[in-house]
Structure 1
Amino acid sequence: MRFTPKGYGGNRRDPDQVKRDGWHEQHMLAVSLDDHRLTWPERELVRQLGEKLYGKLPALREVRHGR
């Protein structure tokens, strides 16, 4: 039994493949500040570019247990 119309379906691309295709086809870059492949200076550059283009990230509240 088919659950999708003919021609629709197949395999889903993983998120890194979507990002890679976006870079090659659309010249767009999607980067996470938490990407372990980046060095600290590279993460800092990405953070600064993000803040310049889109504004500062919301401040993270520090969680203290017992207070």
Structure 2
Amino acid sequence: MKIRPQRYRCPLGRLQPDVTNLEAVKETGWREQRILVVSDTDERLDFVERELVRRLGERLYGTGGRRHG
């Protein structure tokens, strides 16, 4: 009868964070709070949609640290 040696389990292993599904977080944020998180480089968007996202970002937050009021 072979007995496998018991592997040492590091106590720090339980401190490792769980992997978060970011797409699920974004979807939940949109459905529950109407918060949209989207990148202007998202390949699921066509050129017009990416340009709209870029312009909205620039209008709301400015470019190069400059804010529009």
| TM-score category, normalised to shorter length | 0.5 to 0.7
TM-score, structure 1 length as denominator? 0.65
Q: Provide the alpha-carbon RMSD of the alignment.
A: 2.0
Equivalent position to 2:24, from 5, 12, 17: 17
Q: Does 1:52 align with 2:62?
A: no
> What is the number of residues matched between the two proteins?
52
Identity of counterpart residues, as a percentage?
46
State the shift of 1:13 in Å: 3.7
Deviations 1:11-50 (A, max 9, x none): 6441111100000111100001111100000000000000
Structure number having the greater helix percentage:
2
Correspondence for 2:67: none
Equivalent position to 2:38, from 28, 31, 42: 31
Paired AA for residue 21 in structure 2: D
TM-score, structure 2 length as denominator? 0.63
